[in-house]
Amino acid sequence: MFDIGFSELLLFGVIALIVLGPEKLPQAARTAGQWYAKLRLMISTLQSEIESELDLAETRKQMQDELAKIRQTETDMKRELAEMRGNMQKFEDSQNHHLNEPHQPVALDEQDHQPTSASSLTTQEADK
């Protein structure tokens, strides 16, 4: 946390012994130790809270990204379903159109035995 070496601690101890004296130094050291412990506890608590908030924010962002993907997929599926419905409707309409058309009888052409429609038979008969 702090970059304090042994020589700096020794200098601090000598100054404290001179200023406080030998009777008050142990009590002052105990009080300083308690404050240091409380400070470390507060710092570690603060770090864990910050980390949990960051994790929560990251999780929230991931959830929002996944929700956006799900909404996009839903939109794509709705569009594809609408296309399929349109194609099915076109297919049904074309089938109904073919079923409702009048059928022309098919006859065999006498020359090459190919089926011909009634309209082509009348044209061929008119030519003969």
Domain boundaries, the chain: 27-77
Provide the mean pLDDT of the chain. 83
Return the closest-CA partner of residue 13 out of 23, 25, 2, 5: 25
Alpha helices in the chain (DSSP H): 6-100, 118-127
The model's pTM is: 0.45
84: its two tokens: 């399929």
User: What one-letter code names the amino acid at 45?
Assistant: T
Q: What is the pLDDT of residues 82-112, one digit of tens each?
A: 999 999 999 998 888 888 776 555 555 555 5
In the predicted structure, residue 12 carries a pLDDT above the cut 80: yes
Question: What pLDDT is recorded for position 28?
Answer: 87
> What's the N-to-C CA distance of the chain in angstroms?
114
